[in-house]
């Protein structure tokens, strides 16, 4: 009898523990992908993710076919689809790699209990993290809520085992069940707004492998210095590949180790490398999401439920469109819309502007990122927004407010990044580029910039709204003290 291997956020053949376990069972294998828009609860994939998913599923199916197999694609409720396939094929086992989002985890529990009650074999594996969230605890046996001790504790664990090789071939069942054509999932919108993304990315396991190889060969040891400069390729751009599971954190960890050994770096030097630290920041995000499943929509720190937000729909739309009149913010939001990605430093700048200068609740920003980012990962997205808002674990203090002008001058001093995304102010001198409203009228005329016409005036006064945010924070603290 065959076994089902249920692919989800593990769209790869290399270092895929669930697939390897199924292969080891010496059964015929039926690879399954089910598009279950209800399975993620309120967090079904946004438009940018759906474009990537289409490409990644096509790449996975191609890899499977080269090994004598194919991907069975269906749409519907995962529990029902799996039950139907078991009846159709006589499969007696189901293999999957675990997910940790609250809705997905709950769904997995229900499916496993139902199948085991029928006598079927259910095997779940860890193909997504270096350490299971429930295995990392502080000295009191509780979850960590501060990154540095969490990271140090992780470094004390055993090294990740070597990545698993992709199977050379897969035994096919005697008869393949019916499957939908990939196009039938309608993941691609009718309007081809995604063409620019297609030019910027190569979804799929092969693209992930190339991106990792190039980053480790060229940038890994300069990452700490280059990661803050949005105008250069100083980051790995692996986050979408990680989100869709086209590469595993274990593969990344060992790629860095091998490069360090070639360069004869000490263990302490490479284990504490800034890039690997970021990999553990991702682990921290999943640790928090697992132990505090309410945090995608509610603050981890309960006092922030009383924060006096002042949401304004018009200001939120201007932020989403990259029309705030603050160049560094607008550049980031336009990059996001055009490419499905935004540089990490700029993510912090635009998030701080939304929640602190505009006093728009962080949940609105998190939802927009979810809908527009290719790498919109529920754990990382939640941690990032709660960090910026000051409401989460190890969060930036609320009084830490990024000034987008000084951030622009520091990390984009020659204006390369801003000019690439906000060309209407591109002729301004560097001195005024990040704050066009400070330029003398003659300078604006010479640069053909008409504030309020071909480029917006600033949506808000940065200094005044900074003071307003600090006052709101003080109100929240006083309210807490009076209860």
In angstroms, rounded to a whole number, what is the distance separating the alpha carbons of residues 405 and 402? Answer: 9
pLDDT tens-digit readout, 176-189: 999 999 999 999 87
Catalytic residue chosen out of the listed positions 6, 43, 362, 387:
362
Catalytic residue chosen out of the listed positions 62, 84, 126, 309:
309
The yes-or-no answer on residue 278 being catalytic is yes
- Cβ atoms of residues 419 and 449 within 8 Å: no
For the whole model, what pTM was predicted?
A: 0.94
Residue whose structure tokens are 């294998």: 29
Mean of per-residue pLDDT scores for the chain = 94
pLDDT tens-digit readout, 42-80: 788 888 899 999 999 999 999 999 999 999 999 999 999
Catalytic residue chosen out of the listed positions 132, 171, 278, 303:
278
Q: How confident is the model at residue 480 (pLDDT cuts 50, 70, 90)?
A: low
| 255: helix, strand or coil | helix
Q: Tell whether the model's pLDDT for residue 481 goes beyond 90.
A: no
pLDDT at 37: 83
For residue 252, which of 261, 243, 244, 242 has the smallest C-alpha distance? 242
In angstroms, rounded to a whole number, what is the distance separating the alpha carbons of residues 229 and 349? Answer: 13
Catalytic residue chosen out of the listed positions 281, 303, 337, 424:
281
The yes-or-no answer on residue 273 being catalytic is no
In angstroms, rounded to a whole number, what is the distance separating the alpha carbons of residues 18 and 24? Answer: 10
Report the CATH number of the 302-481 domain.
Answer: 1.10.579.10
Q: How confident is the model at residue 395 (pLDDT cuts 50, 70, 90)?
A: low
In angstroms, rounded to a whole number, what is the distance separating the alpha carbons of residues 93 and 4? Answer: 6
* pLDDT (average), residues 313-324: 98
pLDDT at 197: 79
pLDDT tens-digit readout, 234-279: 899 999 999 999 999 999 999 999 999 999 999 989 999 999 999 9
For residue 147, which of 274, 281, 272, 271 has the smallest C-alpha distance? 281
Close Cβ partners of 72 (under 8 Å, ≥ 6 residues apart): 30, 31, 32, 33, 85, 176, 177, 179
Report the CATH number of the 129-162+203-291 domain.
Answer: 1.25.40.80
Close Cβ partners of 273 (under 8 Å, ≥ 6 residues apart): 220, 221, 223, 224, 256, 260
H-type alpha helices, 90-218:
102-117, 147-155, 195-200, 205-218
Lowest average pLDDT, out of 11-20, 170-179, 433-442, 468-477, goes to 468-477
Same fold, 3-127 and 302-481: no
Q: Tell whether the model's pLDDT for residue 483 goes beyond 50.
A: no
Tokens encoding 46: 């946004």
- By CB neighbour count within 10 A (0-12 exposed, 13-18 middle, 19+ buried), where does 132 fall? middle
CB atoms within 10 A of CB 350: 28
The yes-or-no answer on residue 309 being catalytic is yes
Percent above pLDDT 70 for the chain: 98
H-type alpha helices, 292-343:
313-321, 327-339
Close Cβ partners of 212 (under 8 Å, ≥ 6 residues apart): 236, 238, 241, 247, 251, 252, 255
The yes-or-no answer on residue 52 being catalytic is no
The residue ranges of every structural domain in the chain are: 3-127, 129-162+203-291, 302-481
- By CB neighbour count within 10 A (0-12 exposed, 13-18 middle, 19+ buried), where does 79 fall? middle
451-456: list long-range contacts, CB under 8 Å, 24+ apart. Answer: 451/325, 454/424, 455/325, 455/422, 455/424, 455/425, 456/318, 456/323, 456/324, 456/325
Catalytic residue chosen out of the listed positions 126, 344, 424, 437:
344
Strands (E) in 248-300, as ranges, are none
- Cβ atoms of residues 91 and 30 within 8 Å: yes
pLDDT tens-digit readout, 420-435: 999 999 999 999 999 9
Catalytic residue chosen out of the listed positions 96, 201, 385, 387:
385
- Cβ atoms of residues 459 and 326 within 8 Å: yes
Q: Give, in words, the CATH class of 3-127.
A: alpha beta
């Amino acid at each position: 009898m065959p076994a089902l291997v249920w692919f989800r956020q593990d769209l790869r053949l290399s270092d895929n523990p669930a697939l390897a376990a199924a292969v080891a069972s010496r059964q015929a294998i039926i690879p399954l992908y089910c598009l279950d828009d209800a399975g993620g609860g309120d967090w079904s994939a946004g438009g940018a993710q759906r474009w990537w998913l289409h490409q990644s599923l096509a790449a996975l199916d191609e890899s499977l076919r080269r090994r004598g197999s194919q991907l069975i694609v269906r749409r519907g409720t995962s529990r029902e689809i799996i039950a139907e396939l078991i009846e159709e094929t006589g499969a007696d086992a189901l293999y999957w790699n675990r997910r940790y989002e609250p809705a997905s985890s709950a769904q997995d529990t229900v499916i496993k209990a139902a199948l085991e009650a029928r006598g079927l074999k259910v095997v779940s594996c860890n193909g997504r993290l270096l350490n299971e969230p429930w295995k990392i605890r502080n000295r009191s046996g509780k979850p960590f809520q501060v990154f540095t001790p969490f990271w140090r504790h992780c470094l004390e664990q055993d090294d990740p085992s070597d990545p698993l090789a992709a199977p050379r071939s897969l035994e096919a069942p005697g008869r393949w069940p019916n499957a939908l054509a990939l196009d039938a999932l309608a993941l691609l919108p009718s309007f081809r707004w995604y063409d620019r993304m297609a030019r910027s990315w190569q979804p799929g396991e092969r693209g992930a492998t190339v991106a990792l190889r190039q980053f480790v060969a060229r940038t890994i040891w300069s990452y700490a210095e280059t990661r803050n400069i949005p105008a250069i390729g100083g980051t790995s751009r692996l986050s979408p590949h990680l989100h869709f599971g086209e590469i595993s954190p274990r593969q990344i960890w060992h790629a860095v180790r091998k490069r360090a050994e070639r360069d004869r770096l000490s263990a302490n030097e490479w284990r504490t490398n800034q890039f690997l630290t970021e990999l553990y920041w991702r682990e921290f995000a999943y640790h928090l999401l697992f132990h505090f499943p309410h945090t995608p929509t509610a603050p981890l720190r309960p006092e922030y439920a009383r924060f006096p937000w002042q949401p304004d729909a018009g200001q939120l739309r201007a932020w989403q469109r990259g029309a705030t009149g603050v160049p560094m913010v607008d550049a980031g939001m336009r990059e996001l819309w055009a490419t499905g990605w935004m540089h990490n430093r700029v993510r912090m700048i635009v998030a701080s502007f939304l929640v602190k200068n505009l006093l728009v609740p962080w949940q609105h920003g998190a939802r927009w990122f979810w809908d527009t980012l290719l790498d919109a990962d529920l754990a990382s997205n939640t941690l990032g927004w709660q960090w910026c808002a000051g409401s989460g674990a190890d969060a930036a203090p609320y009084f830490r407010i990024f000034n987008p002008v000084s951030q622009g001058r520091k990390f984009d001093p020659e204006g390369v990044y801003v000019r690439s995304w906000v060309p209407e102010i591109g002729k301004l001198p560097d001195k005024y580029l990040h704050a066009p409203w400070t330029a003398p009228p003659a300078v604006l005329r010479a640069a053909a910039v008409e504030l309020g016409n071909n480029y917006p005036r600033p949506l808000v006064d940065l200094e005044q709204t900074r003071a307003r945010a600090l006052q709101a924070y003080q109100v929240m603290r006083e309210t807490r003290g009076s209860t």
